[in-house]
Amino acid sequence: MAKMSNGEMCFPKDFLWGAGTSAYQIEGAWDEDGKTESIWDHFAHAKGNISNGETGDIACDHYHRWSDDIALMKSIGINAYRFSISWPRVLPHGRGIVNQKGLDFYARLVDGLLESGIVPFITLFHWDLPQALQNEGGFAARSTTEAFLEYADAVTRRLGDRVSNWITHNEPSVFTYIGHKYGKHAPGLQDSYTALRVAHHLLLSHGKSIPVIRANCPAAKVGMAMNVNYNLPASASRFDYAVWQYDYGMWTRWFLDPLYGRNYPPDLVEREIEIGELPPEGLDFVQDGDLKAISTPTDFLGINYYTRQLSRDAAVPENINAPVSVFQLSPSAENWQEMEGWEVYPDGLSKVLSWLYYEYQPQALYITENGASWSDAPDENGQVKDARRISFLERHLASAHEALQSGIPLKGYFAWSLLDNFEWGYGFSQRFGLTWVDFETQKRILKDSAWWYRDFIAKSMESSRCADSKT
């Protein structure tokens, strides 16, 4: 991997440059054209769950404005777009009768992308489970894994002739723990054992769906997108080390170890039994053949990277614990996002990519999400001057480039997000977009970061300047 002669970074000619979204966060049209309630519709409509009582009922109105949003993508110059499909828009009851209008919407979107020279990168499940399935137990019920196969089959049968890149699940650990252990996301449950059942069935549905996807799309590339922050113990003390080992273990190893054929980590299983999160018999929801199915070979691993996190044992008095030795950055506006506790730490991206590659040996890696929340608004000239986001992108792309130079098979980068959108429990209070959105009028304005990203992509794709690049 070479650098351009002027010192700028040079990426492979076939590198995918994209941006990402998810259905519930942008589509709106929550009950139109046959779509039924998702768990996020249900959760957001309940009082007190979302900041300012906001919902994704309209969001960015992408369902009606998708062609305009493709035009935005063309203006930015991206050659790939990662988006998710709304399960209850396609299968209103979670299984059974297919909603043709729902599938038709995604077919039009895919066709529009391809006509614009943009590669569709589809996520099947980005957390908006049909409420009808949640009423039957959701992903805590093994039957939902079979419903997922039905859903994956319906989507890939319709789109598999035009779409080759498929992500089964987005951030299964977040859906598992934030939604089922801590109750801050849909469906709002707080039960540790249920959460672990959900994790297993997510992984099982992933593995079982891969043959289905490949049968409908012989050229398919299939993977999963994991959120992996750069985690460190805050000090060298045994207390902080133990907390770090547990934190990164449950959020990362619990999912990736079985995905790559290693079974669930025995040390973590023992720990979960010890603290009462699992019954004495342990993983009683794992059946014969499950682990083999979960470890069905994949084509890539997607990484969602946002920040660095330090593990500190809060239960140990400070006078007993060792002094913090890994210090976070100064509290300047550029070093911290507006998302509480999210440090801007670009060096962590190359470290995470390297660790994942050498630990699990995925065939390829994609940065499927990377972005920052700052609330820059249009000035008197109608421009959104988001210099902090430009700095964020530039520094994280430099970190990605460092990983490439070290031999990591990184194949693409998706900025999060194409649009300011509904940011889950935060409602519309957090803005991650390359595009500023007025949620009242639906006016869109490309931020300065979008124009910077356009220029960066254009430079990286100039074949004459990257002629000496090696992939």
Active centre residues (catalytic): 171, 369
For 242-279, give the DSSP string.
HHHHHHHIIIIIHHHHHHTT--S-HHHHHHHHHTTSS-
d(CA 218, CA 165): 11
Annotate 84-117 with b (16+ C-beta within 10 A) or e (fewer): bbbbbbbbbebbeebbeebbebbeebbebbeeee
Q: What is the Cα–Cα distance from 330 to 36, expressed in whole angstroms?
A: 47
Q: Rg of the chain over CA atoms, in angstroms?
A: 22
Distance CA 349, CA 416 (A): 15
Q: How far is CA 234 from CA 126, 229, 332, in A?
A: 32, 14, 21
Q: Where are the beta strands (DSSP E) in 175-252?
A: 221-227, 230-233
Residue 277 tokens, joined: 């999160």
Residues sharing a CB contact under 8 Å with residue 333, sequence separation 6 or more, in sequence order: 388
- Residues shown for the chain: 471
Residue labelled with tokens 């691993």: 301
- Report how far residue 79's alpha carbon sits from residue 114's, in angstroms, rounded to the nearest whole number: 10
Structure tokens at 135: 């009423």
Residues whose CB falls within 8 Å of the CB of residue 64, separated by 6 or more in sequence, listed in order: 28, 29
Token pair belonging to 133: 């399935």
